Chain A
């Protein structure tokens, strides 16, 4: 996946068919985090507990909406275009930001499922089964995040 530049109000990347499949796989795994481990505040009052519950519900609803949005983005005509042997990926800023949040959620979710290892010292050669998938997605999401962040630093 390689950032090509900005075309009017779209960010444009070149990517291979396997990179497209990885992108779809990331979206299909989303959401992996449930948000319930993050209290709104350290306040232990009933009011704070109620606010915290509302936050968890709001985040869950938001994630479901993002999943629908991301599926719509990836299946929209014009998002992927043939470009010789490769594909061209075209995203608006809001679409790129949506995919960035999804990639982060899946990356952190995979890391959690792998037992929260030091990201720099994951023993890839020992991963089998679901852990191999999580290991692959952890890396793929990291690459995708850096591509999106790098591009989003530029104005469309």
Chain B
């Protein structure tokens, strides 16, 4: 059960790891608007998957709703893929895009 429900908590990164990630990052995790998912549900999913507070999650949800999409995070390919898996597991339309 834990794999389906617990909020993701990522470990703190030391400075070297942060630097490595910065150099390696290059994929955007994008959530796209759809006409059926409830706005409250999308906000809840962002909180669960990214560990964001309600206000940040709601801001991104509104961006999806008003602008058609929201870039949720910029990550390495593996981590972006992980997040997209999580979001699609919640039935949201999410993709990863290589940063231009």
Q: Which residues from chain A sit less than 8 Å from chain B, CB to CB?
A: 33, 35, 38-43, 51, 55, 58-59, 62, 65-66, 69, 93-95, 97-98, 100-101, 104-105, 107-108, 111, 116, 118-119, 142, 145-146, 149, 152-153
Complex alpha-carbon distance, A114 and B40, angstroms? 22
Q: Are B88 and A38 in contact (CB under 8 A)?
A: yes
Contact partners of B40 in chain A: CB under 8 A: 145-146, 149
Complex alpha-carbon distance, A101 and B45, angstroms? 9
Q: In the complex, which residue of chain A has the Cβ closest to the Cβ of B32? A: A38
- B93 in the interface (beta carbon within 8 A): yes
Q: What is the interface size of chain B, counting residues whose CB is below 8 A from a CB of the partner?
A: 27
Task: Please tell me which one of the listed residues A98, A108, A118 contacts residue B1 in the complex, with CB atoms under 8 A apart.
Answer: A98
Complex alpha-carbon distance, A65 and B2, angstroms? 12
Shortest distance between the CB of A50 and any CB in chain B (Å): 12
Q: Are A100 and B96 in contact (CB under 8 A)?
A: no
Complex alpha-carbon distance, A101 and B96, angstroms? 22
Q: Are A100 and B81 in contact (CB under 8 A)?
A: no
Q: Are A94 and B1 in contact (CB under 8 A)?
A: yes
Of the A-B pairs whose beta carbons lie under 8 Å apart in the complex, a sample of 17, sorted by A's number, is A38-B95, A39-B95, A40-B88, A40-B95, A41-B96, A42-B95, A65-B4, A94-B2, A98-B5, A104-B90, A108-B36, A119-B35, A142-B38, A145-B38, A145-B41, A146-B38, A149-B38
Q: Are B91 and A62 in contact (CB under 8 A)?
A: no
> In the complex, given contacts A33-B91, A101-B89, A104-B41, what are 8 additional A-B residue pairs having Cβ atoms less than 8 angstroms apart?
A35-B88, A40-B81, A41-B98, A51-B81, A59-B89, A116-B35, A119-B35, A119-B36
